[in-house]
Amino acid sequence: MRIATWNVNSMRARVDRVVAFLERHDVDVLAVQETKCREDQFPYSVFEGTGYEVTHHGLNQWNGVAIISRVGIEDVQVGFAGMPQWGDPAADEARAISALCGGVRVWSLYVPNGRELGDPHMDYKLAWLEALRTDAAGWLADDANAQIALMGDWNVAPTDEDVWSTEAFEGKTHVSPAERSAFFSFNDAGYTDVTREHTPGPGTYTYWDYTQLSFPKKRGLRIDFCLGSPALANRVESAMIDREERKGKGASDHAPVIVDLT
């Protein structure tokens, strides 16, 4: 089975590219982030016409997560236990959805950005990750053999080689000790980054800002991951980052991450 994750930065703007990506890579399940649309605006029929089912959670023009699958969508869950809220008044954001697809519990996750160190949104981000880690640890406590894929845009560059310049990011988000600690706490909960072994080395990025010619200058970040439970990690045969998808007119600022399971 081939699963993938991709922050598409607006599904309506990039639906044709998403369909072409699914076909080109023969993807079975795609976790999508930043759909940036409400339920009534999501192009369900486009994917259903090509043999895929879709579950989507979108509230407005911000955030939005979806799962697109041709191996079934069962037991859909929106959000997770204890997921923090944001805003005044505080409310849920469309940042997490999961479904059972071909025996794998696939999560599409769009972790809050954090904005700046010391910003209230950073506290929100860390609380969000802690709540997810706590719940994710509980899933494995309930069933050590569960096949779980925590896929998405984590908005964390966990090691120095995951950012094009540590100097440029000194004192900024994505690389702070607190964010990195939050990311690695999932290891303690039993989850493994299943992509790094197959896509090693510095310069292996998944995101390039649209400004200042970041992509051609190779000024990127590695912030999109699949963290797998032990049962899922044991099935991983290979992984890749489709850097080509960042090229051309109308590209997302993220590249898809693909994982092959035996």
Fold of 2-261: Deoxyribonuclease I; Chain A (3.60.10)
Question: 31 pairs with which residues across the strands?
Answer: 5, 67
Give the whole-angstrom CA distance, residue 98 versus residue 100. 7
Q: What are the pLDDT tens digits along the chain (262 aa)?
A: 999 999 999 999 999 999 999 999 999 999 999 999 999 999 999 999 999 999 999 999 999 999 999 999 999 999 999 999 999 899 999 999 999 999 999 999 999 999 999 999 999 999 999 999 999 999 999 999 999 999 999 999 999 999 999 999 999 999 999 999 999 999 999 999 999 999 998 999 999 999 999 999 999 999 999 999 999 999 999 999 999 999 999 999 999 999 999 9
Residue 30 pLDDT:
99
> Taking a C-beta distance cutoff of 8 angstroms, is the pair 217, 176 a contact?
no
* HSE value, Cβ hemisphere, 13 Å, CA-based, for 240: 8
Q: What are the extents of the domains in the chain? A: 2-261
Phi–psi pair at 204, nearest 5 degrees = -90, 85
pTM for the structure as a whole: 0.97
User: Are 42 and 15 in contact, with CB atoms under 8 Å apart?
Assistant: no
One-letter amino acid for residue 169 of the chain: F
Number of residues that make up the chain: 262
Cα 61 versus chain centre, distance: 18
Mind giving me the DSSP string for the chain?
-EEEEEE-S-HHHHHHHHHHHHHHHT-SEEEEE---S-GGGS-HHHHHTTT-EEEEE--SSS--EEEEESS--EEEEES-TT---BTTTTB--S-EEEEEETTEEEEEEE-----STTSHHHHHHHHHHHHHHHHHHHHHHH-TT--EEEEEE-----SGGGBS-TTTTTTSTTSSHHHHHHHHHHHHTT-EESSGGGS-STT--SEE-SSTTTTTTT-EE--EEEEE-HHHHTTEEEEEE-GGGGSSTT--SB--EEEEE-
The answer to whether residues 223 and 157 touch, using CB atoms and an 8 Å cutoff, is yes
